[in-house]
Structure 1
Amino acid sequence: MTDEKKRKRKFQFPTAFTVLFIILIIAAILTYIVPAGVYSKLQYNADENAFMVENHLGEVTTLPATQESLEELNIPMNIGKFIDGSMKKPIAIPGTYQRIQQSPQGLLPVIMSPIEGIMDTVDIMVFVLILGGIIGLINKTGTFDAGIAALSKRTKGKEFLLVIFVSALIALGGTTFGLAEETIALYPILMPIFIASGYDAIVCIAAIYMGSSIGTMFSTVNPFSVVIASDAAGISFSEGLVFRGISLVLAMIITLMYIYRYAQRVKNNPKASLIYEEKDKIETRFLKNYNPENVIPFNWRRILILLIFLAAFPLMIWGVSRGIWWFPEMSALFLAVAIIIAFLSGFSEKEAVNTFLEGAADLIGVVLIIGVARAINIVMDNGMISDTLLYYTSSIIENMNRGIFAAVQMILFSFLGFFVPSSSGLATLSMPIMAPLADTVGVSRAVVVTAYNWGQGWMAFITPTGLILATLEMVDVTYDKWLKFILPLMGIIGVFSIVMLVLQSI
């Protein structure tokens, strides 16, 4: 058998789409196996200044919005958190779980779910497509190539400082306001710089994605995770804050050391790269016009284009961190940037528009993956199995030893995080149920909040329903190569987190 035939017969890991569809089918099968059930839910109605309680039959009753009502329902929260708008999502009521009629998701719901997923995530898709259009425009002006050449001269021999700077900055955003989806904008910019510096695409993914993941996992004051979870647990988010801050720094050091070890190995020997076989393909995509021997001048036009583009990022971060912006506002910002760059590019109207459209078209695969990933969550939500999983997991940890309780909590939250990927959604669903269990074993409820945050964040390293598959599609890296890189670090961070949780519970 010839070498060519052997290569053809060699197993190829399925694409991101196939991985997601396999998980989608598994999720649909689970809706036949896992019993359907729900907790009664409580939500505050600001117009009537009253609590609306919906039971497992869908019947709604009204209660006065008072602290006494919360105490009668065994919800460990302050009434002020509802009145000031901190708690907007429905809260699960402890002790109200009820089995309901099974809601299996058959062939038609499964086929419809990707369409619903695309419709549900259209705001993210528009953002990504506009971003792709901007990248197409900037690439054609030669701005990135000129910038790479200028940066390469300044960072010669100190390339890893870029990894440290990027990861630390993104982790800071993650721990303070949950910087995650917004980082998609950084890959087309930083990928050429990392590759030109002698690293591979995995180093760039690790610097950005793990910076975000470590930051959000070890959140300190993130209002969308640790703050809302603390509120739902009936404690102040300042409880355990110093401990979480120390853990964040240590976890970031561990992660950077791991990335450094791999990055230096690749820099010294490109064949050591996990994606060496795709090296030419990736370099052709991201460095197609870059030639270190033929340096493109970094003239005033290119400098101005780059400055305008980069200025959009602190503005975006300001908008998101202030809580007034989300994807529609971010999309509008980058659309305005695209129009300005089109004028500055010197292209004709037709050339500028066509270049923008070609750049957007390059990210069609990415946006479709985002929609299909959402389809998995839709199938599980419609199957009514999330509350059942919470009910069974909460019964596992009752009356455990304190140290074991903390460790098992994190593992269970990792499991629940796959089925409820929304950090705020998991907090409001699980905290009223899980937090009081800490009282029964004699540990602080802050331990449960930490376990929730770390467990959900830890699973996000690899969760296909999260951002990772869209990220990998953007940079032409397959999921199996990412798993090969990240699983050892995932194990290290997992052990570190459990040890720290046990220390917190003592």
Structure 2
Amino acid sequence: MWKDVECMSSPEQALQTQTEKNRKWEMPDTYVILFAVLLLASIATYLVPSGSFERETIDGVERVIPGTYSEVDGNPAGFMDIFLALQEGMVQSGGLIFLVLFAGGAFEVIERSGAVKGGIIRAVNKTRGKEFWLIAIVSTLFALGGAVGAVANSVIPFVAIGVMIARALKLDAIVAVSITFGATFAGFNVGFLNPYTVGIAQSIADIPLFSGMLLRIIAFVFIVGATILYTWRYTKKLLDDPSKSLVGILNDEEAEEDLKAPFTARHKWILLFVGAALLFFIFATIQFKWTINHMAAFFIIIGIVAGIIAGMNYNKVALTFLEGCQKLVYGALIIGVARAILIVMEDASILDTAVNALSVPLEGLTPVLSALGMFVANGILNFLVPSGSGQAMISMPILSPLADMVGITRQVAVQAYQFGDGFTNSIFPTSGPLMASLAVAGVPWIKWAKWMLPLLVVWAVLAVIMLTVGVLINWGPV
């Protein structure tokens, strides 16, 4: 009797045990990781010697003077200082936080109008029978979205559109992910007009907002071009021999119904307005020296005008804008938490000590190798902090003075951070958008990693070339 009961309950017990194990080994949330780093930084204030560099102001930018590090009196963090740093981090990062929130609100209005989906479907229908141009056009649209920060994490629902396209063409789900998520992050890798990454990093590095755009646009063309060619090479294999698919061909007779989204005159006007608005912003940052605060305010204007063109009433515009803000609260507040770590280190005067320690192994390296070291270090950091804005807040206050010391420009340091963050988002399983996109398309991570790895190597080679050129030409604000 007891034996029978035990046998009957054992599957339930096994399931419960497995669930407990899964919970035990669950990957910590980004906020948990950052709070743990904050605690470690607080403990470090008691163990790490306090020190400071002398600084000088050159062309309005405060720079570290190499070789001037000296120890100073410290100010270890108390228990309450940890939580005060969190509050102060939110306050000090207010401009950046609201930039992220307002950008999310504006892009939500644009997305909800149907203009983006309609434009993509129109591109699909215009390129029927010309699969290469279809891959190129759709990938370029998403890459531009990633480069200006319009898509990035919000690419997840668009992966479903990629699946529709792949079904219609009798391709597989890897192509669906590549032309949406993959293309988005190919553009995100450079982010020549991305407020969440390059914008924040340049603000911290104290260089003009969205400066150095020409070289970034050139890099964008090469990286996105390589992505399109790599995707097309795989696509052509599938068109010639469907058995070459890593995950199996999608085939659905009802796929044609999915490709009938309208693309109205309103949609065209919305996309034209948004494109013109972003071009004007580039002009304004150069001509009028607009800042992060101007950009945040400008996104409010973009959201309101796009809503009006879409025919939304005032309540619909306001609520849609706020829903977009709400979606990015998680990512926006990470900036404040990351800033709290630096506040603790700055108050205890151990941030310069960390910079000095990092500069020691780089002293014997050439400026080019130092830049590549920053690139690799940021790629590793992204495994723990898979947030572009959060990583910028942590790494740029260290990389900026470090760049001064090793003889490279801060513009190069910004791009080293951007490449390190952007590339690994496409393969690290700690990337939330990657795992969600793969789930939408039904692609196992192992299969995606196998497909993605060669392209990642190509990206890395292009990054090495760009960073080397940046160092050799002394890439500055222009």
TM-score by length of 1: 0.59
For residue 197 of structure 1, the aligned residue among 161, 165, 184 is 165
**Residues 118-129 of structure 1: pairs in structure 2 closer than 5 A:** 118-129=90-101
Contact 2:37–2:341 (CA<8 Å) still a contact in 1?
no
RMSD over aligned Cα atoms: 5.5
For residue 407 of structure 1, the aligned residue among 361, 364, 369 is 369
**Residues 211-226 of structure 1: pairs in structure 2 closer than 5 A:** 211-214=187-190
> Structure 2: any 5+ residue segments left out of the alignment?
1-10, 167-174, 193-197, 248-254, 382-390, 473-478
Counterpart of 1:460 in structure 2: which amino acid?
Answer: D
What is the DSSP-based 3-state SS (H/G/I as helix, E as strand, rest coil) of the residue aligned with 1:361?
helix
What is the DSSP-based 3-state SS (H/G/I as helix, E as strand, rest coil) of the residue aligned with 2:189?
helix
For residue 137 of structure 2, the aligned residue among 148, 152, 162 is 162
CA distance in 2, matches of 1:223, 1:89: 17
Q: Give 1:286's aligned residue.
A: none
Q: Give 1:25's aligned residue.
A: 36
Q: 1:104 to 1:312 in 2, by over 3 A?
A: same
For residue 305 of structure 2, the aligned residue among 336, 340, 344 is 340
For residue 207 of structure 1, the aligned residue among 171, 183, 190 is 183
CA distance in 1, matches of 2:326, 2:201: 34
What is the DSSP-based 3-state SS (H/G/I as helix, E as strand, rest coil) of the residue aligned with 1:94?
coil
Counterpart of 1:472 in structure 2: which amino acid?
Answer: P
- TM-superposition CA deviations, 1:147-186 (whole Å, max 9, x none): 3432221244233203653587689xxxxxxx67677598
- Cα deviation for residue 423 of structure 1 reads 8.4
What is the DSSP-based 3-state SS (H/G/I as helix, E as strand, rest coil) of the residue aligned with 1:311?
helix
CA distance in 1, matches of 2:404, 2:121: 54
Q: 1:449 to 1:342 in 2, by over 3 A?
A: closer
Q: Give 2:359's aligned residue.
A: 394
Q: 1:450 to 1:145 in 2, by over 3 A?
A: closer
Contact 1:416–1:456 (CA<8 Å) still a contact in 2?
yes
**Residues 297-308 of structure 1: pairs in structure 2 closer than 5 A:** 297-308=262-273
Contact 1:224–1:424 (CA<8 Å) still a contact in 2?
no
- Cα deviation for residue 141 of structure 1 reads 4.3
Contact 2:342–2:351 (CA<8 Å) still a contact in 1?
no
CA distance in 2, matches of 1:206, 1:115: 36
CA distance in 2, matches of 1:424, 1:31: 20
Richer in helix (by share): 2
Q: 1:321 to 1:167 in 2, by over 3 A?
A: farther
- Cα deviation for residue 213 of structure 1 reads 2.5
CA distance in 2, matches of 1:115, 1:265: 54
**Residues 312-327 of structure 1: pairs in structure 2 closer than 5 A:** 312-322=277-287, 324-327=289-292
For residue 459 of structure 1, the aligned residue among 408, 417, 420 is 420
- Cα deviation for residue 317 of structure 1 reads 3.1
**Residues 361-376 of structure 1: pairs in structure 2 closer than 5 A:** 361-376=326-341
Contact 2:435–2:445 (CA<8 Å) still a contact in 1?
no
Q: Give 1:283's aligned residue.
A: none
Q: Give 2:60's aligned residue.
A: 88
Counterpart of 1:95 in structure 2: which amino acid?
Answer: G
Q: 1:359 to 1:305 in 2, by over 3 A?
A: same
- TM-superposition CA deviations, 1:308-328 (whole Å, max 9, x none): 334322223333455722333
Contact 1:406–1:451 (CA<8 Å) still a contact in 2?
no
Which sits farther off after the overlay, 324-333 or 26-35? Answer: 26-35
Contact 1:103–1:382 (CA<8 Å) still a contact in 2?
yes
CA distance in 2, matches of 1:142, 1:223: 27
What is the DSSP-based 3-state SS (H/G/I as helix, E as strand, rest coil) of the residue aligned with 1:130?
helix
Which sits farther off after the overlay, 494-503 or 377-386? Answer: 494-503
CA distance in 2, matches of 1:119, 1:270: 54
What is the DSSP-based 3-state SS (H/G/I as helix, E as strand, rest coil) of the residue aligned with 1:91?
strand
Q: 1:383 to 1:309 in 2, by over 3 A?
A: same
CA distance in 1, matches of 2:283, 2:431: 25
Q: 1:489 to 1:396 in 2, by over 3 A?
A: same
CA distance in 1, matches of 2:83, 2:235: 42
Q: 1:431 to 1:148 in 2, by over 3 A?
A: closer
CA distance in 2, matches of 1:386, 1:29: 13
Q: Give 1:59's aligned residue.
A: none
Contact 1:24–1:110 (CA<8 Å) still a contact in 2?
no
CA distance in 2, matches of 1:245, 1:315: 17
Contact 1:28–1:106 (CA<8 Å) still a contact in 2?
no
Contact 2:227–2:455 (CA<8 Å) still a contact in 1?
yes
- TM-superposition CA deviations, 1:439-494 (whole Å, max 9, x none): xxxxxxx7x88985664444323789xxx99983997789x969968777666655
Q: 1:476 to 1:189 in 2, by over 3 A?
A: closer
Counterpart of 1:411 in structure 2: which amino acid?
Answer: G
Q: Give 1:99's aligned residue.
A: 71
Counterpart of 1:295 in structure 2: which amino acid?
Answer: K
TM-score by length of 2: 0.62
Identity across matched positions, percent: 21
- Cα deviation for residue 28 of structure 1 reads 3.4
Q: Give 1:472's aligned residue.
A: 433
CA distance in 2, matches of 1:224, 1:138: 23
The reply to whether residue 147 of structure 1 matches residue 124 of structure 2 is no
> Structure 1: any 5+ residue segments left out of the alignment?
45-81, 172-178, 217-221, 232-236, 274-289, 436-445
CA distance in 1, matches of 2:119, 2:68: 59
CA distance in 1, matches of 2:423, 2:464: 18
For residue 102 of structure 2, the aligned residue among 115, 130, 133 is 130
What is the DSSP-based 3-state SS (H/G/I as helix, E as strand, rest coil) of the residue aligned with 1:90?
strand
Counterpart of 1:161 in structure 2: which amino acid?
Answer: A
Which sits farther off after the overlay, 133-142 or 324-333? Answer: 133-142
